[in-house]
Every structure is written in C-alpha cells, then in structure tokens.
A and B are shown apart, each in its own frame.
Chain A
C-alpha cells in the first residue's frame, strides 16, 4: 500500500516537473493566440477564440521584419565563418599541435570567460571611429569571437574522439594532412561537429547585449523584441507573446540534435 502511494507521489512529482519545464512556454504559445481581452482576465483562460492577429501585427511591423532579416543574415554569416575557420583549427589543435596546443586552447577558452560588456564598451567607440557602428558587418565581426571560439571549444573534443588509427591508416595510404582531414576526420566527426555548429547558432541567435550596444537601426530580433514593451501605452502582451514564439522557434527546431551532441559528448568524455 505504502509502495503504491509513494509510486503515485513520485509520478505526480515528475508530472509536475514536466509542467514546470514546459508550462511557461506552452502558456506563452497560448497567449500568442489570445486577444488582449482574453489575456487580461482575473482568472487565466484555457478556452478562448484563437486569433492570428498578434502574428499578423508582428509580420506587418517593419521593425520586426527587419529584425528577423538582420538576425538571419548576421547569425548565418558569423556561424558559417566561425565553422570554416574554427573546424580546421580545432582539428589541428586536436591532432598536430602537441607543444603549444594546450596554451592555444586555454586562450580560446579564456575568451569565453570575457564578460560581453568588456567587449561591447570598447567596440562601440572603435566602431563609431571606424564608421561601422550600426552595420551588419560590425555585428558579424564581434560575433566571430563567439562563433570561432565556441566552434573550436566544441570541435576539439569531437576530433579527439575520431580514432587516431583511422587517420594513420589513411596516412599509410599516402594521404596528405589535408586529405586526411577532408576525407576522413571531417566525415567521421561530422555528427558531433553539426551539433557544435547548432549550439553556436543558438548562442548567437539568442545574443542581446552586443547587438543592443553595437547596432541601432540594424538591430537583431532579440533587440527588437526587447523593445516591444515600449510600443505604446498599454503593454501589448499578445504581441509580446507572439514575438517570443517567433524568437523561440529556430533554436527549438534543433533540440533533437542538441540531445545527440549531449549523448556523444557525455559518453566520449567518460571513456
């Protein structure tokens, strides 16, 4: 009897935990389809007439549309360059650079220690002086610090997990270091590398502070979303919810990939 009660209790607790994890997001999704009068009620409403007005408002709003476009450009370009420069560097760090490799890796990691504000403040002046303040190019440039360092940070262990024997077997067949990298290490490590790129994408997509300080008219979606609160007198909760949903969707698409990355890195790390 006691066992049944405790089993039920743990089930209930786990259910509650899932509600805590997902509830806030689902509630926001619901809110995105509500009219304001369905939101501003003393008792929260679960049943209401859904409306697409909030999304229509967002997509009609040029600032938000531009924000979306800017985000897409800045994030894809900075992640692409980060991957193109970072992945070969990570392979070299994992395989060829024995003596100074650790120091370089520590330098790359230490960039992640840097508080973003310590980058943002000097860069705002430098950008103003160079005339690249409030440009997408400027944003991409600072984001490269994040993307390159994150890609290297996550890709070095991915290449470490490629069996060294495979690369040596390829070298025995006459492959140059470039061929070994391109035809063997890269395809074998590809799943983990893909996860690393997705993680980097999420980081940059979510970034607020640098975009907020280094851009004004050409800001990214998080900046635009953060400024909606001051759109009018009344807080447009429905619109905010809809904007939140738009902001949330791209990272969530990759949740399965992130799970895979987690599984391989946890298992690889504990051999």
Chain B
C-alpha cells in the first residue's frame, strides 16, 4: 500500500512561490510521469516528495503516513538521479548495498539480494569496478540497482535518461517499464521529453508554471488535450494552430479554410464565436479534389522522415503542415489538398487557451 497524496502543496523561494496550492493523488502501483518544460516545477515536486526540498505549505502522504516533515531516509522512497549520483569512492557492489549495510542488515541477507538485482540488470560482471570505469548506460543501471535493492514503497526518477544517447535511452526506457510491470512499485518519473512520457507512463501529469495543466492517461492527453499548451507540448510534428470564426452550420472559417466541426464534441459553439483550431499534422492526409473538410495549399517544403514525410504548405500566407506516406508524390510549388475528419479537430478558447470540448 503506497499511494501518494499531495494536498495544497506550496513551495516558495523567498517571497516568490514556484508552486502554489497543488493537489495530486497517485494510486498504488501506478507509473506516473511528471512532464513539462524546464522550470515548470516538476523536479521541485519530485524533490519535495523525496524530502530533499522542504515544503513551504501543505501535506505529503505516502502510504497513508504523513511524511511532510520526515527526513528523506525515513520515507521509504528511493531515487535515481539524472547524474546517477554514484559514490565515486566505492565499488559498484558497495554503491548498491550501502543503504542496506547502513541499516545494519546481516551480510548473509545482503548477498543474495545483491546477486538478484545485479543479475536482473546485467551488472554481475562489474560489481568490483569503480563507477568511473563504467559506461553511461552501466552507471545508470547501477543507480537503478541501488534504488531497487532497498525494495522501497516508491521509486522516484529525476530525468534519469537525459544524459544518454538516443538509442540507449530507448533501450533503458523499455527496461524501466518492464521492471515496473514486474515489481509494481509506485513510480514517479520526471522528464521534459513528451515522447518518453507517452511511451512509459500509466498516467501523465503535465505541469506548467508550478501548476498541473492536465492529468490523464497518454491517450487522454494526446486525444483530448485540455488546453492550447498541452496540445502544443504533446505530439510531433507539433500541432497547427489557426484562429477562426464560427459560422452557421457548425463550420469554422479562416480565410479560404472552412472546416466543419463535430456537434457532439463541441455542442456549445455559437455563430460569430472566435476559436483557435488545432490540427494535428498526423491526422491529416492528401485527398482528391471534392473531398470534405479539405484545405488547399501550396507546398513549400517536404521533409523526408523515412516511412512518412512532413509536407509544409502555405495557406493564405501562413504555414500548415501535415504528414503523409505519399510525400514522394509532391514537390515544392505543387498545389495540394489535404483534409481531416471533423472529430479530429481540436478547438480552444483563443483568450484562456482552454479546450472547448463539451462546452
């Protein structure tokens, strides 16, 4: 039983609050990712849960116990740092077992646990080495082993993969996910990489300026972004945004573009209302003339991404991009038509940036 409850968390440096009244519930066994741009407060939140930062106001509970004022060692949490934070003056084995030895566990009990985690992470051949003689990926695994061996109630990961190259990052990401499926320990994972968050999380907590912008499964966040900010942050290539005005017949118009919107998704739209449309490049594709909801543009640039290509077009003097597998058919200067289904169009309030779903 190790759910985490944060209620009305406030964190200020001096008079300046960086987090102001944040509430968060993380159920047991869940893998939660704190996602957001740098400076959004995600690392600060993690460090407050870890006990490395004092909490200015509010309560943090882990497994029903109030840990707000407990020192980090008494919270039953283990953390993996971005820099790995291995102890340079100790061997790999000593690094991994330090916490257990410190608690005074008998050697006979430590040894099998060490063998177990070392085998699980493929560290057995390196146990006598010093951390500086390991590669980045191996160091990262040692850091994970050090966290795992304590069998904590909660795992905390602070951007653990950002110092690794792309290939290794992908590999370790999979390993961390597998590890969680096996151990089922409640996990908080901080990253600024939306792709990493999408692939690894049970639930994503998307943060901005010290507050939660949206919380939900990766699918919810991707398919029903709660705001312009979320829609812009998630998904590659980035979403196209177009200012438009609603016309009778549930159609949004902007210059030559006229797109009909779903009445089920946006029942509250009124003619004359200003909206900001969000069109994911990946939801659009080339269409034949006469197809509904089509946009006509002139190709500016074609970016080859292998299986697909991103086509950047000019429409009424602004750029709109879409992704298609048939990108090899078009070249700069061509006139093209591309379209998307009404239920794939997002609409936001141009002033508040909030989604108009259901409104």
Contact of B99 among A166, A168, A174, A184 (CB under 8 A): A174
If the complex has contacts A165-B81, A165-B85, A187-B89, are A171 and B52 also in contact, measured as CB distance less than 8 A?
Answer: yes
> In the complex, what residues of B have CB within 8 A of residue A163's CB?
83, 85
Which of the four size classes fits the interface of chain B?
20 to 34
Q: B87 in the interface, Cβ–Cβ < 8 Å?
A: yes
Contact string against B for A residues 101-121, beta-carbon threshold 8 Å, 1 for contact and 0 otherwise: 000000000000000000000
Q: Is A188 a contact partner of B73 (Cβ separation < 8 A)?
A: no
We find that the number of chain A residues with CB closer than 8 angstroms to chain B is 15
Q: Is B71 a contact partner of A168 (Cβ separation < 8 A)?
A: no
Q: A77 in the interface, Cβ–Cβ < 8 Å?
A: no
> In the complex, what residues of B have CB within 8 A of residue A168's CB?
50, 52, 72, 79, 81, 85
CA distance A153 to B89 in the complex (A): 24
- Which residues of A96-155 are within 8 A (CB) of B? none
CA distance A175 to B71 in the complex (A): 9
Identity of the chain B residue whose Cβ is nearest the Cβ of A171 in the assembled complex: B72
Cβ distance B98 to chain A, nearest Cβ, rounded Å: 6
> In the complex, what residues of A have CB within 8 A of residue B71's CB?
171, 174, 176
Q: B102 in the interface, Cβ–Cβ < 8 Å?
A: yes
Q: Is B78 a contact partner of A172 (Cβ separation < 8 A)?
A: yes
> In the complex, what residues of B have CB within 8 A of residue A72's CB?
none
Q: A212 in the interface, Cβ–Cβ < 8 Å?
A: no
Contact of B87 among A166, A171, A172 (CB under 8 A): A166
Contact string against B for A residues 165-195, beta-carbon threshold 8 Å, 1 for contact and 0 otherwise: 1101111111110000000100110000000
Cβ distance B236 to chain A, nearest Cβ, rounded Å: 30
- Which residues of B64-99 are within 8 A (CB) of A? 71-74, 77-79, 81-89, 98-99
> In the complex, what residues of A have CB within 8 A of residue B78's CB?
172
CA distance A24 to B148 in the complex (A): 62
CA distance A163 to B84 in the complex (A): 10
CA distance A187 to B88 in the complex (A): 9
> In the complex, what residues of B have CB within 8 A of residue A188's CB?
87-89
CA distance A58 to B30 in the complex (A): 79
26 pairs from A and B in contact (CB 8 Å cutoff): A163-B83, A165-B83, A165-B85, A166-B85, A166-B86, A166-B88, A168-B50, A168-B72, A169-B86, A170-B98, A171-B51, A171-B52, A171-B72, A172-B79, A173-B73, A173-B99, A173-B150, A174-B71, A174-B72, A174-B73, A175-B73, A175-B102, A176-B71, A184-B87, A187-B89, A188-B89
